[in-house]
Structure 1
Amino acid sequence: MNDPFALRTIPPEDEALRAPVRAFLAEALKGVPPAVRARSWLGFDADFSRQLAAHGWLGLTLPRAYGGGGRSPFARFVLVEELLAAGAPVSAHWIADRQSGPLIARYGTEEQKAFYLPRICTAEAFFCIGMSEPNAGSDLASVRTRAERTASGWRLSGRKIWTTNAPHSHFMIALVRTSGAPEDRHRGLSQLIVDLSLPGVHIAPIHDLTGDAHFSEVTFDDVELPESALIGTEGAGWEQVTAELAFERSGPERIYSSIVLLEEWAHALREASRTTHTPVGESERRTLGAFVTELATLRAMSVAVTGALANGGSPATQAALVKDLGTSFEQSVPTLIGDALGAHPQQAVARELADTLDYVTKIAPSYSLRGGTREILRGMIARGLGLR
């Protein structure tokens, strides 16, 4: 298929997953206020993740031999779309299910697959990502965290930052330098699985504007790791992490971060129209229509990237484009809804909507940081198009 964003249809067998997931979520999230549901993929709830696992909904794309569902990426797309649309707390299992598990399944040894994958599928092993570093920003090729070979494995030293859920995670997959110097860029990078309970691992939470502490700085002081900590081939870390980022950037999570707020605003417009018997204003209709149109386009692009993954591809450029455009959309939602409400200062705003808008407005700036800044993404897109 020449067009990387050609329209794709979710197969019926995967679409059939939507109804039972939606029914489960309606019961599981009954009475949860929208300001809480708006946290969704930053909402940590290990018990909820275990409930998903009990239904067989974790590790949907992982091999059946290791406890997974053995299904296509389209099945996971349907599941994730329903989870985010409902505002489910998915953070506990999120990274392991989305990228750590598939990375291990693709590059890991038989021993690694047999140990980690079943635990991911039962919500017994939570992972975090060790990519970004202080003074490196989104320039992953300049990482300085180093793993030196020892008689029994590796000795790890350095720091990682903006690490989501590090205090709650059991393991980290870290991009580190196993040879050469930062000036060597892509050469000499490898990926290691780090048991975060080991001596020498120090985790310092970072509080954000909302008062939460999803991010952390993680320091490694001569952490001793076994030889089996290495994933894939030593020195092939850049190729592997690029494949991992395609998993991270391509899914519906990059377009639905503000969806609970958008739905709450649409509900408020319907309620106001019903109680006052006056139609929704022209300005609000145009804004809502623009949201729906853009969201539909982004969803079609995300489904197309999922199709590329289902065909065994690694659509890094397309995933970066979806992430960049999706982030801009997600950040526009609280801004434009705030403007729409501010245009009618005499009208009362429901507490549920006000609280949700307050949270999303505060957290939205982070959307263009997590998963790669838009400047880095646009550089990747330009290279992918042969423009630089």
Structure 2
Amino acid sequence: MATLLDRFEPAALPAVAERFRSEVRAFLAAEMPSLPADRRARSWMGFDADFSRKLAARGWVGVTLPRIHGGAEMDAFARFVLVEELLCAGAPVSAHWIADRQSGPLILKFGSDAQRAFYLPRICRGEAFFCIGMSEPNAGSDLAGVGTRATRRADGGWSLSGRKIWTTNAHKCQYMIALVRTSGKPEDRHQGLSQFIIDLSLPGVTVRPITDLTGDAHFSEVFFDDVHLSDEALIGQEGSGWHQVTAELAFERSGPERIYSSIVLLERWIELLRARGGAAHAATVGRFATHLVVLRGLSLSVTALLAAGESPVVEAALVKDLGTTFEQDIPAAIEAALGEDPGAPIDAELLRACAYINQICPTYSLRGGTREVLRGMIARGLGLR
């Protein structure tokens, strides 16, 4: 009997994607800001609108979107290469990240013709940055337990009230795609949920940044107080939000972004070991290299499913769970290795990068779905529950 594991067919990057890699590297050599390792380690959270617009000028924001909407109309393999190179370089990708990876493909698949015509060209030009309104206070990791509600207005449109939390870059974005309840009660779970595109400049929207342990403020809490949304803000059909959001999460969980969050730190440490010579910590480096090869292969397999037009929700969950575990193991191992030889010369840049990753890495297994939720999905995919 076929199982989830049978879905991970070996996949290789097409030759055209590998040729594209040289273009990306040349671009980074010319345009990548000169940043120390601790700043490059913030790649996911590095918000640089000017850099994102330089990428957009090359057609590399909305890279998989159709040309008719301003995209490059490249395939999922090209996006894999682009993301891999950006993250390994530590490029600041946070400004366009969500719109390119999730919001654009979601609008393309489920949005109206008017929504596609308005938002997608702006995404591809680096003019419209999006955040995701999923998590809520008091709901924990229970995505279906949302309480933010949109109700129909007698004079047309919708009235939105509620809160979202841990919303990345909400204070810097123009738009949010939010999962809200349009009918029923939170106890109704997946029924009665819908998604809306929210202009964050509308009256009644309040955004409050949240400073995290590292001192950065990329998270926000967003309040909606009787916000008037037009009928055109609804994505797809009312009540289809759960189906839409699960398809969206497959994009979020499947790519190389779930492997390379700690890669700048690992490379900086390896550079230091090479400079010192000897075989110290060779086994640890070898273990990470082996794990990375396997995880990259799994991610490529999921990319092949996406390129074939499938929605590999459970497969993506498996890659995300394994990948974030790998990302969290790296800073713990490097910190332990540094502690074994306290008399060694101090590499201040490495220490700063290690301190940052150690502080932020607990979030790796939270963003995009908690480890516990994902393992429940995986167990169902394996027929274990």
Name the TM-score, length of structure 2 as normaliser: 0.97
SS at match of 2:171: helix
State the alpha-carbon separation in 2 of the partners of residues 333 and 129 from structure 1: 28
Residue correspondence of structure 1 range 304-319 to structure 2 within 5 A: 304-319=301-316
Opposite residue 280 of structure 1, the aligned amino acid is A
* Deviation, structure 1 residue 346: 1.3
* Deviation, structure 1 residue 41: 1.1
State the alpha-carbon separation in 2 of the partners of residues 23 and 70 from structure 1: 21
- Which of 164, 176, 191 lines up with 1:160 in the alignment? 164
SS at match of 1:168: coil
State the alpha-carbon separation in 2 of the partners of residues 325 and 42 from structure 1: 21
Counterpart residue number, 1:276 = none
Counterpart residue number, 2:203 = 199
State the alpha-carbon separation in 2 of the partners of residues 10 and 130 from structure 1: 33
1:103 equivalent to 2:103? Answer no
| Aligned alpha-carbon RMSD (Å) | 1.1
- The alignment-based identity, stated in percent, is 66
State the alpha-carbon separation in 1 of the partners of residues 79 and 124 from structure 2: 13
Counterpart residue number, 1:337 = 334
SS at match of 1:17: helix
- Number of aligned residue pairs: 381
Residue correspondence of structure 1 range 309-388 to structure 2 within 5 A: 309-388=306-385
1:113-161, CA deviations, whole angstroms, 9 ceiling, x for partnerless residues? 0000000000000000000100111111111100001132110000001
Counterpart residue number, 1:233 = 237
Opposite residue 13 of structure 2, the aligned amino acid is I
Name the TM-score, length of structure 1 as normaliser: 0.97
- Which of 77, 92, 95 lines up with 1:92 in the alignment? 95
State the alpha-carbon separation in 2 of the partners of residues 367 and 27 from structure 1: 30
State the alpha-carbon separation in 2 of the partners of residues 109 and 289 from structure 1: 49
Opposite residue 300 of structure 2, the aligned amino acid is V
Opposite residue 279 of structure 2, the aligned amino acid is V
Counterpart residue number, 2:279 = 280
1:149 equivalent to 2:145? Answer no
Counterpart residue number, 2:66 = 63
Judged with a 3 Å threshold, the aligned counterparts in structure 2 of structure 1 residues 121 and 30 are, in CA distance, closer, same or farther, namely closer
* Deviation, structure 1 residue 387: 1.9
- Which of 65, 78, 90 lines up with 1:75 in the alignment? 78
1:8-36, CA deviations, whole angstroms, 9 ceiling, x for partnerless residues? 01111122110011121123236311111
State the alpha-carbon separation in 1 of the partners of residues 98 and 34 from structure 2: 27
1:301-350, CA deviations, whole angstroms, 9 ceiling, x for partnerless residues? 01111111111111010101111111100000000001111111111121
Contiguous gaps of at least 5 residues in structure 1: 274-278
Opposite residue 355 of structure 1, the aligned amino acid is R
* Deviation, structure 1 residue 385: 2.1
1:221-242, CA deviations, whole angstroms, 9 ceiling, x for partnerless residues? 0000000001011101101000
Opposite residue 313 of structure 2, the aligned amino acid is A
Opposite residue 352 of structure 1, the aligned amino acid is E
State the alpha-carbon separation in 2 of the partners of residues 253 and 30 from structure 1: 20
State the alpha-carbon separation in 1 of the partners of residues 91 and 173 from structure 2: 19
Contiguous gaps of at least 5 residues in structure 2: none
* Deviation, structure 1 residue 386: 2.4
* Deviation, structure 1 residue 379: 1.1
* Deviation, structure 1 residue 380: 1.3
* Deviation, structure 1 residue 382: 1.4
Opposite residue 368 of structure 1, the aligned amino acid is S
1:253 equivalent to 2:257? Answer yes
1:14 equivalent to 2:17? Answer yes
State the alpha-carbon separation in 2 of the partners of residues 28 and 204 from structure 1: 32
Opposite residue 7 of structure 1, the aligned amino acid is P
Opposite residue 19 of structure 2, the aligned amino acid is A
Opposite residue 4 of structure 1, the aligned amino acid is R
Residue correspondence of structure 1 range 259-274 to structure 2 within 5 A: 259-273=263-277
1:133 equivalent to 2:136? Answer yes
* Deviation, structure 1 residue 383: 1.9
State the alpha-carbon separation in 2 of the partners of residues 368 and 248 from structure 1: 13
Opposite residue 246 of structure 1, the aligned amino acid is A
Opposite residue 357 of structure 2, the aligned amino acid is V
- Which of 185, 190, 208 lines up with 2:189 in the alignment? 185
1:28 equivalent to 2:31? Answer yes
SS at match of 1:144: coil
State the alpha-carbon separation in 1 of the partners of residues 33 and 187 from structure 2: 53
State the alpha-carbon separation in 1 of the partners of residues 7 and 349 from structure 2: 40
